Amino acid sequence: MFEVCADPKAIEGLTWAACYLTSAKHVDFYWSFLTVLLLLAITAPAALGMGFMGATVARSHVLPLSLLGRTYIWMVRGVPDIIFFLFFVIALDQGLEYIKNLFVCDGGAWPWQGLEFRVCPEAKVPLAKSSAFWHQAYGFMLAVVTFAIVFGAFVANVIYGAMNAVPRAQLETAEAYGMSRAQVFRRILVPQMWVYALPGLGNLWMILIKATPLLFLLGVKDIVYYARELGGSKTQAYEYPHGDWRLWYFLGLLVFYLVFTRISEIGITRLTRKLSHGQATAGGEALRKAAA
C-alpha cells in the first residue's frame, strides 16, 4: 500500500508492522468483518419473517397448515445446526443446478450417477468461468438462506409461545366488541405478543452472532478464514514471514464478539424497557415499582 512496503524483507520494526497490517490480505480481512455484519443485517429480518410466518401457520385453524408449521419448527429444531447447515447448502446447490440442467443441457439427463452429482458445464451455478466475486456472492446467498431457515424455526417457536402468552381475556374482549378474527390478530395479538417474545428473540440474536463463524464451514471467506490464514506460520517464501500467530488473531476475534454482544445486550435491554411500559409483565411491574 505504501512505497516503503515495496520490499517487505528489507524493512523492520514499526515500519514492518505498519506494512504488514495494511497488506492486501489484511485489507480483505478487515472487509470480512463487513461480510459478517451484512450477514446479520440480512439474516435477522429474514429469520424474523420466516419465524412469524411459521408461528402464524402453526396457530392456523386449518389442520394441514397447522401441521405444516409445527413440522417445520419440529424438524429444524430437532436436527443439530451444523448437520442442517452442511446438508441444506448441498441440497439447495444441487437443486438449483438440477433445475438449470433441465433447461440448458441437451436432453436434461438425470444428474445423479450413482453417488455422484454431475451436470453439464453450462448448468453450474455459478459458471466455472465466473469471477471469484460471483462465487463468493453465491456462497453468501446460500448461507443467508440457510441461516434464515434454521433460525426462523427457533424464532417461530419463540413467537408461537409469545402468542399463547397473551392473556386470552384480551382477545375475547376484542371479539366481544365485534372485531373479526383477523382484526384481533392484527390489532391485539401481534402488538401484545412482542413484549413476551423479546427475551427469547434477544437470546436468539446472541446465538446468531455466535453462529456466524459457520460461514467458514460454508466456504465463505469470513473473519475466521482470514484469521486462520493470516495467523498461520509463514516461511521465508512469503512476503511477511512470521511464526504461528493464530492465538493473537483469534484473541482479536474474541474481543470483537464480546464487544458486539455487549452492545447488543444494551440495545435489547433498552428495547425491552421501552416495550414493557404499561404491560402486565415482570418488566412492566419492575418499571412501575421503580417509578413509585
CB atoms near residue 5 (< 10 Å): 18
Residues of the domain holding 100:
3-221
Per the CB < 8 A criterion, the answer to whether 120 and 106 are in contact is yes
Instruction: Tell me if 136 is assigned to some domain.
Output: yes
Instruction: Tell me if 291 is assigned to some domain.
Output: no
Instruction: Tell me if 241 is assigned to some domain.
Output: no
Q: What is the pLDDT of residues 42-69, one digit of tens each?
A: 999 999 999 999 999 998 888 899 999 8
Q: What is the pLDDT of residues 69-100, one digit of tens each?
A: 899 888 887 888 778 777 888 888 888 888 88
User: Residue 285: which pLDDT band, with cuts at 50, 70 and 90?
Assistant: very low
CATH of the domain at 108: 1.10.3720.10
**Share of residues in the chain with pLDDT > 70 (%):** 92
Tell me what the mean pLDDT of segment 258-284 comes to.
Answer: 78
Instruction: Tell me if 259 is assigned to some domain.
Output: no
- pLDDT at site 14: 86
- pLDDT at site 283: 47
Specify the 3-state DSSP secondary structure of 112: strand
Tell me what the mean pLDDT of segment 183-194 comes to.
Answer: 87
Rounded to a whole number of angstroms, the distance between the first and last alpha carbons of the chain is 61
Q: Which of 162, 158, 160, 187 is nearest to 281 (CA)?
A: 162
Please, which residues have CB within 8 angstroms of residue 79's CB and are 6 or more apart in sequence?
none
Tell me what the mean pLDDT of segment 189-201 comes to.
Answer: 88
Q: Which of 12, 10, 47, 32 is nearest to 253 (CA)?
A: 32
**pLDDT > 90? residue 177:** no
More confident residue, 134 or 257: 257
Instruction: Tell me if 252 is assigned to some domain.
Output: no
Tell me what the mean pLDDT of segment 18-40 comes to.
Answer: 89
Instruction: Tell me if 111 is assigned to some domain.
Output: yes
Q: Report the distance separating Cα 281 and Cα 283, nearest Å.
A: 5
Task: Quickly tell me which residue has 466456504 as its cell.
Answer: 219
Instruction: Tell me if 273 is assigned to some domain.
Output: no
Instruction: Tell me if 281 is assigned to some domain.
Output: no
Tell me what the mean pLDDT of segment 167-196 comes to.
Answer: 87
Three cell numbers at 61?
385453524
- pLDDT at site 272: 82
Cβ-count burial of 169 within 10 angstroms (0-12 exposed, 13-18 middle, 19+ buried)? exposed
**pLDDT > 70? residue 34:** yes
Q: Report the distance separating Cα 144 and Cα 40, nearest Å.
A: 9
Domain count of the fold of the chain: 1
Tell me what the mean pLDDT of segment 151-173 comes to.
Answer: 89
